[in-house]
């Protein structure tokens, strides 16, 4: 009886130890705040990758992975920092998938991730400022920098033959970073930027702003704003006064509601939104459906961020950030066997057998420069009152 009891206790301790040895990944996203409608699908994407790995049993000789959610709030840096601090010191996570918005991501990186030496991969922070932020090699993102979007915008404008453009942007880090990137790229390509001014969101009337834009003139008006707010007001006022007929719509302006709200006036306008024609995207959408959620913006990027963390740990044979931080770029890029969503188990075995992988994933990941996605974009044309995809860049 005593022996049985001892065996039971030892067994319990062993299994307890096994649970304690589980690898932990913190998922820190803005579950409350201005992008709370997007974050559930993003977190589900990351958890889908973790569940897939756990089901395969191939991660570091069968070690399990658990995920812990925390709220970044998207806008409150102090709250986000506190949440990340708790993940690392109290929950003892080995890596962080997040954060989402550029401001809180920078704050967590500088105050928590660097201080504690923990790797973080953001699925959706796009500010160009993060490319040059000091990170001790700990920070990566599966979202492209808006500096890249600026190049894409400039190319699309050039290909459509626009020689001069007026730019207006929503007065925050995202708008300003994107507008400046578009201006410098378009000028470098020989285009003429007639004016580059901010607009405030949440005003009733944008006719005065549009009057100033109209006086500066230009073949096309680039509206780097939000589709449910000032961006829509600017477009409506421009059409009403006949100031501009054609608009360029960056990622913040792409959504089904805009063509519906504006109507025929928007036909012929062009734009872009992150997206890829890689088969991985379609595979991920199917997998998400099977798992019971709808893939949304930055949901594929979240899956990829979690997958990269796991593959890098496997490649380094360690869950210590200092060991696997240098492996993230290796598993993300060529050479190696291409890895699509759903292949994570096979990829882990391949790495365990000493092979090399080139992670493609759901968003065609290719990490460049300081560890950010090279970025592929869908080119959008508004036709017949709908956003249609005309190509990929």
Partner 1 sequence: MLIDLLNALALIGNFVVVPGIAYGSQLALGALGVTMVYAVLRFSNFAHGETMSFGAMVTILVTWALQAHGFGLGPLPTALLALPVGMIVTIGLCLGTDRLIYRYYREKKAVPVTYLIVSVGVLFFLSGLIRFIIGPKDQVFADGERFIMKARAFKEMTGLDQGLAIKTSQGITVITAVVIVALLFWFLNRTRTGKSMRAYSDNEDLALLSGINPERVVMITWIITGALAAIAGTLYGLDKGYKPFTYLGLVLPIFASAIVGGVGNPLGAIAGGFVIAFSELLVTFAYKRVVGYLTPGDWVPDGLVQLLSTDYKLAVSFFILVIVLLIKPTGIFSGKTL
Site of interaction with partner 1 (CB under 8 A): 195, 197-198, 200, 202-205, 207-209, 211-212, 214-217, 233, 236, 240-242, 261
Give the torsion through C-alpha atoms of 99, 102, 106, 109, to 10 deg.
20
- Kindly state the smallest distance separating residue 204's Cβ from partner 1, in Å: 3
Q: How far apart are CA 274 and CA 257, in angstroms?
A: 18
Q: How far apart are CA 72 and CA 81, in angstroms?
A: 8
Paired strand residues for 238: none
- Kindly state the smallest distance separating residue 212's Cβ from partner 1, in Å: 5
- Kindly state the smallest distance separating residue 241's Cβ from partner 1, in Å: 5
> Of 214 and 332, which CB lies nearer to partner 1 in the complex structure?
214
> Of 204 and 384, which CB lies nearer to partner 1 in the complex structure?
204
Q: How far apart are CA 193 and CA 163, in angstroms?
A: 9
Contacts of 30 (CB under 8 A, 6+ apart): 36, 39, 71, 72, 73, 74, 75, 99, 100, 101, 104
Q: How far apart are CA 348 and CA 59, in angstroms?
A: 6
> Of 216 and 282, which CB lies nearer to partner 1 in the complex structure?
216
> Of 197 and 381, which CB lies nearer to partner 1 in the complex structure?
197
Q: How far apart are CA 149 and CA 61, in angstroms?
A: 41
- Kindly state the smallest distance separating residue 211's Cβ from partner 1, in Å: 4
Could you tell me the CA-to-CA distances from 312 to 24, 306, 317, 340, 392 in Å, in that order? 14, 10, 8, 16, 29
Residue with tokens 């109290």: 90
Phi-psi category of 73—alpha, beta or left, where left has phi over 0 and alpha has psi -120 to 50?
left
> Of 255 and 342, which CB lies nearer to partner 1 in the complex structure?
255
**Residue 285: which of 339, 341, 338 has the closest Cα?**
341
Tokens of 288: 């998400």
Per-position DSSP letters for 231-242, written without gaps between them = HHHHHHHHHHHT
- Kindly state the smallest distance separating residue 240's Cβ from partner 1, in Å: 6
- Kindly state the smallest distance separating residue 250's Cβ from partner 1, in Å: 22
Tokens of 120: 């973080």
Residues, the chain: 393
- Kindly state the smallest distance separating residue 208's Cβ from partner 1, in Å: 4
Paired strand residues for 388: 381
Contacts of 387 (CB under 8 A, 6+ apart): 254, 255, 256, 258, 259, 271, 380, 381
- Kindly state the smallest distance separating residue 191's Cβ from partner 1, in Å: 17
> Of 195 and 329, which CB lies nearer to partner 1 in the complex structure?
195
> Of 233 and 300, which CB lies nearer to partner 1 in the complex structure?
233
> Of 82 and 195, which CB lies nearer to partner 1 in the complex structure?
195
> Of 240 and 256, which CB lies nearer to partner 1 in the complex structure?
240
- Kindly state the smallest distance separating residue 78's Cβ from partner 1, in Å: 25
């Amino acid at each position: 009886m005593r022996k049985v009891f001892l065996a039971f206790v030892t067994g319990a301790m062993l299994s307890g130890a096994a649970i304690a040895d589980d690898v932990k990944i913190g998922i820190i996203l803005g579950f409350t705040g201005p992008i709370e409608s997007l974050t559930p699908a993003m977190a589900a994407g990351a958890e889908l990758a973790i569940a897939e790995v756990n089901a395969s049993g191939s991660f570091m000789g069968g070690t399990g992975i658990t995920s812990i959610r925390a709220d970044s709030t998207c806008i409150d840096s102090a709250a986000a920092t506190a949440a990340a601090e708790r993940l690392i010191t109290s929950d003892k996570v080995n890596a962080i998938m997040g954060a989402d918005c550029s401001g809180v991501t920078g704050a967590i990186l500088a105050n928590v991730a660097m201080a504690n030496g923990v790797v973080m991969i953001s699925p959706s922070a796009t500010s160009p400022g993060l490319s040059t932020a000091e990170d001790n090699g700990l920070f990566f993102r599966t979202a492209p920098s808006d500096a890249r979007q600026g190049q894409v915008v400039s190319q699309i404008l050039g290909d459509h033959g626009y020689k001069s453009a007026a730019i207006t942007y929503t007065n925050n880090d995202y708008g300003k970073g994107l507008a400046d990137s578009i201006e410098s790229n378009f000028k470098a390509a020989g285009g003429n930027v007639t004016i580059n001014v901010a607009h405030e969101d949440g005003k009733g009337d944008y006719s005065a702003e549009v009057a100033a834009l109209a006086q500066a003139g230009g073949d096309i008006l680039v509206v780097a704003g939000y589709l449910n707010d000032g961006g829509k007001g600017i477009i409506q006022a421009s059409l009403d006064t006949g100031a501009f007929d054609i608009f360029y719509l960056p990622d913040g302006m792409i959504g089904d509601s805009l063509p519906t709200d504006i109507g025929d006036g928007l036909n012929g306008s062009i734009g872009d939104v992150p997206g890829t024609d890689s088969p991985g995207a379609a595979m991920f959408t199917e997998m998400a459906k099977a798992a019971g959620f709808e893939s949304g913006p930055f949901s594929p990027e979240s899956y990829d961020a979690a997958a990269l963390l796991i593959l890098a740990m496997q490649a380094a044979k360690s869950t210590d950030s200092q060991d696997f931080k240098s492996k993230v770029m290796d598993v993300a890029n060529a050479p190696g066997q291409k890895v699509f969503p759903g292949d994570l188990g096979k990829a882990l075995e391949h790495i365990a057998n000493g092979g090399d992988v080139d992670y493609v994933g759901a968003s065609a990941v290719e990490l460049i420069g300081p560890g950010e996605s090279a970025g592929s974009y869908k080119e959008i044309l508004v036709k017949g009152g709908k956003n249609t995809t005309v190509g990929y860049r």
